[in-house]
Amino acid sequence: MDNVGAYACIFCDIINKNAPRTMYEETDDLVVIQKRIKPRKIELPVNILIIPKKHIINFKHLDFTDPYDATIVSKMVCMAQNISKQLTGTGDFWISVNNGAKAKQTVFHSHMHFKSWEQWPGKIDPLGDSNKKSGAGHD
Ligand SMILES: [Zn+2]
């Protein structure tokens, strides 16, 4: 994936394996990682990020004449649906995308938030501390 010009981007570092993070899912086009949580925020059992491998700042910067850009959003939603099918209970979930600083985007590499009150067996251990040991900071 061409990430040339993506300087100091934590998501590009993760995608390029320069910053070790557990990838719950990975395809040719995207990765799924744990969201880092601010201290004292309510922690949902599943609070993850679906991230395109291509450095796209946010959805305002999608170029629909580019085949990758033209299909990546549906691939992200498809991944969300696939994860939903692996969840316990109803599999109900939220997805959201922050586009720009005024919309509370903090990492300027497009990503979709996926949250659920259900469990994701085999991926996120509800009895483990994988939600907590991701370190300081948030993304
Ligand atoms: Zn990036």
Q: What is the pLDDT of residues 110-121, one digit of tens each?
A: 999 999 999 999
Query: What spacing in Å lies between the alpha carbon of 72 and ligand 1's midpoint?
Result: 15
C-alpha 25 – ligand 1 centre gap (Å): 18
Residues by chain with Cβ below 5 Å of ion ligand 1: 6, 9, 11-12, 55, 109
The contacts of residue 93 (CB under 8 Å, 6+ apart) are 46, 80, 83, 84, 87, 114, 115, 116, 118
**How much distance in Å is there from the Cα of 22 to the middle of ligand 1?**
17
Give the chain's count of helices (H) and strands (E): 2, 5
CATH number of 10-116: 3.30.428.10
Lowest mean pLDDT among 17-21, 59-63, 107-111, 115-119: 17-21
Judged by DSSP in three states, 115 sits in strand
- All structural domains of the chain with their residue ranges: 10-116
- Separation CA 78–CA 84 (nearest Å): 10
How many A from CA of 46 to the centre of ligand 1?
23
Segment 62-79, tens digit of pLDDT: 999 999 999 999 999 999
**Interior/surface letters 75-103, b for 16+ CB within 10 angstroms, e for the rest:** bbeebbeebbebbeeeeebebeebeeeee
Distance 40 CA to ligand 1 centre (A): 27
